[in-house]
Structure formats: C-alpha cells, structure tokens
Amino acid sequence: MILIHCPYCDEKRPEIEFANAGQAHIARPFDPSGQSDADWEAYLFIRANPRGRHHERWRHVHGCGRFFNAVRDTVTDKFETTYKAGEPRR
Amino acid sequence: MSEALIRYEPVSDTPFVAEGVRISLAPPMQRHALRARNAEDLEGLLKVKIPRKIGASQGGIMCLGPDEWYFRNQAGATIPTGEGLPVAITDVSERSICLIIEGPRASEILMSGCPLDLGQFAVGRATRTMYETVEIIIMREAEDCFHVEVWRSFSAWLWIAMTTAARH
C-alpha cells in the first residue's frame, strides 16, 4: 500500500484514506459570463493528462478531511511532494 | 401520556469475549461535532481547553482536522450552541455507536482491517481512519484499550468483521 504524506496531519497515511480530485491549480475565471465558449470549455473539460510529473488535488477524506495538492508521477505512481492548498505550485 | 423510549442497538449488548480480546458496546453518550476556524472561539464558548494538533485529544475532545473536533461526554449533557459566533456545533449523538476493544490482542484485531500501524499509535491519540471499507474513529484509551466510533448503519458489519478476526 502506498503511504501518502498529508500536509495537514503532517504524517504518512495509508492511501485508502485518500481520494484523488483531479488536476490542481485550475482557477475558476472571475467572470464566467465574459468567457468565450472555447475558454469556458477549456476551463471545464480540458486537462493536461501528462505522462510523468503531474500536479493533482487530493483529499484526506477519511482522515482530516482536507484538500491539498500533490506532485505525483503518473508512470511510477510515486508522490514527489505534497503541500497545502493555496501554496504556490512546486 | 407517557412515552416509553426503547433503545435498539445495532449490535449485541452482550460483550464478545475471545482469547486475549473483549469487544463490547459502550453505553450511550453525547457526541458533538465542533467546527470553527479559530479554536479560541470554541474555547471561549465551552470554557475548556481545545487540542490544536490533529490527532490529539483532551478532556473528551479530539482534534480530527485543522478546523474540526469531536466531543464526547456523558449521555444527557448539553453544551452551548454558539449562536452568533463563527462556530458550528452539531449534536451527532445517535449517528454513531462506540465499540470498546480491550485486551492484549486489541491492536492486532483492529489492524486486521485498519492499515494504520497501531504499534506507533500513542495512548491518548485519536484519528479518523478506515477499517476495510468502513470509516471509523479510533481512540487509544490505554495501552490495551481502544474505542472505535462507527456509524450505526455500518456497525453490524463491523461487529461481525471484528469478532470474526478475534476468533482466529
């Protein structure tokens, strides 16, 4: 079982306590009605889906309940780092 | 007209005893979910010390998350509602039941389905975690005694799973 470091609990916890919540650092546009259809589509649906290093949101749902960000390698499934929501991209 | 309230427990009220472990249902108690961005607001309201570190517990209050606490006290106890304050206090007494796992094999029985290393889990610590697919809150009350809080609807299954583990 993979152990994931929760930046809020500050310890490594078993992966079944966590849920993936998709790509991280996607900011909702301040003015949705001012967006073109293409921009809005990009915001809603278009994701990076990289092979390798990927910034993701995770939630410690069966623990402290908090969302945080993680850098995970999509090939090896190794977590490079995790950090609190709101902190700059690493 | 008098009303007779009959309590139906989802698991047996007869303790299960196997070699090195005893699993029993804790008596009913008052449970509150406390949420607040600043623990000071809760401290001012409840006049008790609120643990700040996630996993710590003090006076029946467990810190489950950065803004979340779980408070257990005796059945029938009431606490202030915090009206007007930036806090949320919810009575969740009947949401869950508590199973008491005690004996030298207590941590072994829990670890049959819980992935945490309970050998490293200090007395007094409390955390939300999983047992197989069921969410539970574990509290280590003593070296060989754990309290397991589980939602009522999952508890019949959890009872079967843990007593089965205890038989082996």
ipTM: 0.88
CA B140 – CA B103 distance, rounded (Å): 12
Q: Which of A52, A59, A48, A53 is nearest to A26 (CA)?
A: A48
CA B103 to chain centre: 18
User: Each residue's pLDDT tens digit in chain B (168 positions)?
Assistant: 456 678 889 999 899 999 999 999 999 999 999 999 999 999 999 999 999 999 999 999 999 999 999 999 999 899 999 999 999 999 999 999 999 999 999 999 999 999 999 999 999 999 999 999 999 999 999 999 999 999 999 999 999 999 999 998
Question: Domain end: B45, B64, B91, which one?
Answer: B91
Question: Domain end: B37, B72, B91, which one?
Answer: B91
Tokens representing residue A55 in the block: 């910034």
Checking phi first, is residue A52 left (phi over 0); if not, alpha (psi -120 to 50) or beta? left
CA A60 – CA B12 distance, rounded (Å): 32
B55: closest chain A residue by CA: A9
A1: closest chain B residue by CA: B115
CATH of the domain at B146: 3.30.1360.120
CATH of the domain at B67: 3.30.70
What's the pLDDT tens digit per position in A5-24? Answer: 999 999 999 999 999 999 99
What's the pLDDT tens digit per position in B44-75? Answer: 999 999 999 999 999 999 999 999 999 999 99
Q: Which structural domain, as residue segments, surrounds residue B81?
A: 29-91
CATH of the domain at A9: 3.30.2270.10
Q: Are residues B86 and B41 in the same domain?
A: yes
Q: Are residues B123 and B99 in the same domain?
A: yes
Question: Domain end: B72, B91, B110, which one?
Answer: B91
Q: How far is B87 from chain A (nearest CA, A)?
A: 17
Q: In this structure, which amino acid lies at residue A29?
A: P
pTM given for the model: 0.91
Out of A10, A63, A65, the one facing B129 most closely (by C-beta) is A63
Query: How many Å is the maximal CA-CA distance in chain A?
Result: 46
User: Does residue B9 lie in a domain region?
Assistant: no
User: Does residue A89 lie in a domain region?
Assistant: no
Q: Are residues B20 and B66 in the same domain?
A: no
Instruction: Enumerate residues 6+ apart whose C-beta is below 8 A from A11.
Output: A5
What's the pLDDT tens digit per position in B84-99? Answer: 999 999 999 999 999 9
A85 contacts on B by Cβ (under 8 Å):
none
